[in-house]
Amino acid sequence: MTDHQHSTDRHPAEHAHPKGKEYLAIAVVLTVITAVEVAVFYIPAMHPVLVPVLLTLSTLKFALVAMFYMHLKFDHRLFSWLFVLPISLAVLVIIALMKLFGVF
């Protein structure tokens, strides 16, 4: 096995992945956000702003998992584009269909 085949070698545009403590910190943040989401669902005073608050929180969770656990923050930017572009297209399709069917 040559040196450049070693698993620790990375593409110049890639950075080292986080350590265990950082992964644990992200898990704590994700758990707290999930708890806040459920709390918001049960608090009647929050119902007028339920949809924007929940969408914001879930987008934050999605981004944290994609950036830190899927390593998009550290890997080559091409991987991010391969993921972000289809997601954007899927969101546009969802919005277009909802508009087309008179949901809003």
Partner 1 sequence: MAVAAAVHPAPHEEHPTSTGLSSRKMLFWAFLGSECMFFGSLIATYLVYRGRDTVGPHPHEVLNIPFTSFSAFVLLMSSLTMVLALAACQHGDRRGTAGWLAATALLGMTFVGGQCYEFTHFFYDGLKLQGNLFGCTFYVLTGFHGTHVTIGVIWLWTLFTLAIRGKLPQEKSLDVEIAGLYWHFVDVVWIAIFTLIYLIQ
Tokens of residue 71, six digits: 């390593």
Go through the chain and tell me how many residues it has: 104
| Binding flag, residue 66, partner 1 (CB under 8 A) | yes
- Please report how many Cα atoms fall inside a 13 Å half-sphere around the Cα of residue 64, on the Cβ side: 19
Give the integer Cα–Cα distance in Å for 80 and 14: 12
Q: What are the residues binding partner 1 (CB under 8 A)?
A: 1, 4-12, 17, 19-20, 23-24, 26-27, 30-31, 34, 37-38, 40-42, 50-51, 54-55, 57-58, 61-62, 65-66, 68-70, 76, 78-79, 82-83, 85-87, 89-91, 93-94, 97-98, 101, 103
